[in-house]
Every structure is written in structure tokens, then in C-alpha cells.
Amino acid sequence: MTTPDQGSPDIGHARYTYRLRVSSTARTGLEAEWARCRWVWNECVAMSRKVHALNRDAAEKTTCGPAQLDKMLTEARTAMGWLREGSSVPQQQAIRDFGKSRAKALKDVTVVWSRELSTALSSVRVYQDAVGHWYGSFVVAAPAQPLPETGAVLGVDWGVKETATTTSDAHNLPHPQHGRNTAQRLACYQRMTARRKPAKGQAASRGYRQARKQTAKLHKKVARQRQDTARKWAKRVVRDHDAIAVEDFRPRFLAKTTMARKAADAAIGATKRALIEMARKHGRDIRLVHPAHTTMDCATCGARTKHALPLAERTYTCTACGASSPRDKNSARVMLVRAGLDPAGAEGVRPPGPLVREAA
Ligand SMILES: [Zn+2]
């Protein structure tokens, strides 16, 4: 089975991910490699904490960048034979991943190692997911597959009730209910996990580990369904339009939000990724529009309301020109205007200026 990765590959490249069925010998090898990388990771964490503690009261600040971490790794590999038994590539990768994760304030790492290959494959990554399955993932050169011109353009606005509201009624995407159907089961597993949680210092019970695994499995299922829906929709949108203006939505997972809001965020994230990937694959013009004020501007005359519309207000009525349209439709049209794709080219509309960037 092949599934292009969720990340956005470079233009002209596609990432393929395969589930690996590993023999027990291979598994032992992978687990040993993983243990070495985990050790390096933990050393990075410890070193970074130590430096933070030192810097707290020191006048002269010590740095803990990639150079210091590389030096630490070299010394550790010299001193410890078991660490030297593993390849240095994954261990250096662990350091790089650590730097990246710290920049993004993430806590866990999934990539075990990358290996550069000289052929058409540029790298292979092997990793284990929360369910315990192993995967191999590699990038290959993928020539663009141009589609026939359609003469049509599309504006896309993201939302909670409808994942995508577009300027074409035939291309709206209602919020898929995968989350809701599984939400109850998920809540049940989460309660089970909480009940079985081991006391501090005690080993996790079999029941606890099982409940955690079930939760991870369910999450995975929802993610897969979400991606499937996203790809099918993206394919249709890209087939029917030459140029697409889309809100450059940033997920707000970190904000304190409801379950529904989180599910919507995840659906939008997956859909946006699928759309960008699909548009690039087929050589379509995709433009990301900065999300600021897109719900406050009038798509007809460009006037901006003084206050943000309350969320309950579903109709946008412009006080300047009197135009009235469903709120999300107006926003979808604002995307087109901002991206410079509005076929009507209405006068008085704010210039696209720095609010638009090409999806590079
Ligand atoms: Zn107006």
C-alpha cells in the first residue's frame, strides 16, 4: 500500500510511505537503533536543561546549539562502544530533529533515521507509529501531470460547519462526520485510560497499555478517513479549476478549544495540505491568502466593517454598497479578489499587495 505523506513535498517530488512487515531479527535491529537514537535525544534534552539552568543566573550566556550537540555526540561515540555500533547518520538526525522540535515546541519525535541515497530516491525514513507499526517512507522525483485548461477559478474559505465554502456551489465540502461517529468511542477509551493510569512510580498495567493502544488506533483511523475525503475533494477542485485562491489557515490546536473545534482544525489542515499537493502535482496555480480580515471585507466593493461579525451572524451585509450574501460565500469571494483572480475585477477593491503569497 502506498500513501503519499501528509507533509508537503518539494515541487516535482512525491513522498511514498509503506507499512513494513519486519522479521524478528530486523525488529531487534530497529529497536536497538531506536534505543541509541532515544539516548541521544535524551542527552540533548538534559544538556539543554542544564544550559537553561546555568543561564538563569549567569551574566555570560552559554549556548546549546547544533554545534555543541554535535560535539557532545562525537565525544559520546568515542567514549561508548555500544553507541558507535549504530550508524552516525540517524544519531545526527536525532540532533537535527531535536533542534527543529525545540523551535516548534513539540515533545515527541517519530523519525528514527534518514539515509541519503544516490539514485532517484533521495532519502528513506523508517519510523514506528503510536500503534506500534513500522513504516518506511521515501521521496521520488514525480513529473507534473498537467490537466486540460478549464478557464475557471475558485476561491476557498475554511470553516467549522463546512470544511470548505467555495465560490462554486458544486465544490463546497461539508464537515465530515468521522470525528463525531468515533468521538463517543474515543471518549470511552480516554476514560478507560484515565481509570487505568498507573500511580506515580508504578508500572503500567496491561489494561492501561491496551486502552492507550486502542485510542491511538482510533485516532489513526479518523486521520486516514479525513485524508481520504480531503484527497477526493482536492482532486475534483483541481480538475475543474485553473487557479485556486485559498485561505492560508493556521491550525489552532494549541488554543483552548472544544472537541468540535479541534476536529474542524484537523479536517481543515488535512484538506488544505491535500489541495496544495494536488494543485502542484497537476501544475495548477494555487495562491495562499493571508487570513486577516477576510470575514470583515466586502467582496463586492472592498469596504471593511469596523467590527468583526459575531459568529452567529451568517449573512454579510455591506453598509457601503448594500451587497448582501452568506458570510462564508463572501469570504470565499474575498480570497479570489485578494489573490487577484476575481474575474469581475471590481473597482475600489483592496489591492492584493503583501496579503497574498504564491504557494511555493
Ligand atoms: Zn460592499
How would you write the pLDDT of the chain (360 residues) with one tens digit per residue? 334 444 443 446 667 777 777 777 777 777 787 788 888 888 888 888 887 787 777 777 677 777 888 888 888 888 888 888 887 888 888 888 777 766 544 344 344 444 444 345 556 677 777 777 777 777 766 677 889 999 999 999 998 888 999 999 999 999 877 666 677 788 888 888 889 988 888 888 898 989 888 888 988 888 888 999 999 999 999 999 999 999 998 766 544 556 677 778 888 999 999 999 999 889 999 999 988 888 889 999 989 988 888 878 889 999 899 999 999 999 999 999 999 987 664 443 444 444 455 444
**Contact assessment for residue 251 and residue 266, using Cβ atoms and an 8 Å cutoff:** yes
Q: At what angle do helices 206-240 and 178-196 cross, to 10 degrees?
A: 160
Report which of 72, 69, 62 is spatially closest to residue 96, judged by C-alpha positions: 69
Provide the Cα torsion 64, 66, 67, 73; round to 10°: 100
Ligand 1 center to 250 CA (angstroms): 27
Q: At residue 289, what are phi and psi to the nearest 5 degrees? A: -110, 130
Phi-psi domain of 151 (left: phi exceeds 0; alpha: psi -120 through 50; beta: other): left
Ligand 1 center to 229 CA (angstroms): 35
> Which DSSP symbol is given to 171?
G
Report which of 357, 346, 344 is spatially closest to residue 318, judged by C-alpha positions: 346
Ligand 1 center to 152 CA (angstroms): 24
Ligand 1 center to 161 CA (angstroms): 25
**In angstroms, rounded to a whole number, what is the distance separating the alpha carbons of residues 16 and 234?**
18
What pTM was computed for the model? 0.65
Ligand 1 center to 349 CA (angstroms): 9
Contacts of 95 (CB under 8 A, 6+ apart): 40, 44, 66, 69, 70, 73
289 to each of 12, 149, 249, 337, how far by Cα in Å? 23, 23, 9, 10
